Structure 1
């Protein structure tokens, strides 16, 4: 799994398209697509999940932080099972970093920010590679294995 994060409108989507090409299944929360924990029916070798922070915000509207993280980790584990089921499969997860800056005044936005920070930590821990994109430039902050993605 390759996790990509960075600021809003900093070129994450363009960078992923340049790195991986456009032949992929692309699920985007920005296009009102739902978070899917079960992706077994997807037959593409490359799956891109974009807008993780939006899906996390939806979880925080219904569940407390503990349950959000539990649901999130179940989804990540299912995605990793999908990725490992075929040798050529690759999962790319894109999430905008909303954890910096001023702490929100509203309780629901603080919960969203906290859950997103924890979820990104969980993603980074399980990912083979983690990149931060700022102004269209990447910085790899984690890479395990032989480096082939």
Structure 2
């Protein structure tokens, strides 16, 4: 698993394609089916995927299931923990849960990259 994080509009997906030296088949976390993540090469807008699964009931075992069923996935997600704290409690819960899931995935990932202004930095390479 490769986890790529960074702020919004920082070129994370382009960085991933360049780093991997190929165009992979991406699914969009904003609109993909839940089960699609377990067989796709990569997902972008992962933070929006988490938001959607929180609305339908939080699957407690999601990170473990993803690591077990699709260990080679490339995950691209926005960092949500910086900036203004959301007013809405549901948005704060989403932000916290996304951070916790990403932390759990990063622990198990082979690689973790942080992208700023299109420039990536490897912060973990197992």
TM-score (norm 2): 0.87
Look up the match of 2:28. 28
Q: Secondary structure at the match of 1:120?
A: helix
Is 1:75 aligned with 2:74?
no
Moved over 4 A (4+): none
Q: CA RMSD in A?
A: 1.8
Query: Structure 1 50/79 Cα, relative in aligned 2: closer, same or farther at 3 Å?
Result: same
**1:123 and 2:105 aligned:** yes
Secondary structure of 2:4's counterpart equals strand
Maintained 8 Å contact 2:17/2:24: no
Three-state SS of the structure 2 residue aligned to 1:93 is strand
Structure 2 gap segments, 5+ residues each: none
Query: What CA deviation, in whole Å up to 9, does each residue of 1:58-78 have, x standing for no partner?
Result: 111132xxx444223322321
Q: 1:22 deviation in Å?
A: 4.2
Q: Please tell me whether the aligned partners of residues 99 and 116 of structure 1 are also in contact (alpha carbons under 8 angstroms).
A: no
CA–CA distance in structure 2, aligned partners of residues 129 and 72 of structure 1: 16
Stretch moving more, 111-120 or 93-102: 93-102
The answer for the alignment partner of 2:9 in structure 1 is 9
1:110 match: 92
**Contact 1:4–1:92 (8 Å) recurs in 2:** yes
Which runs of 5 or more structure 1 residues have no equivalent in the other structure?
Answer: 84-90, 145-149
Deviations 1:37-81 (A, max 9, x none): 532xx6xxxx11111101100111132xxx44422332232111x
Q: CA-to-partner distance for each residue in 1:12-48, whole Å, 9 max, x for gaps?
A: 0111121224442211224x22233532xx6xxxx11
Contact 1:69-1:119 at 8 Å conserved across structures: no
Higher Cα radius of gyration: 1
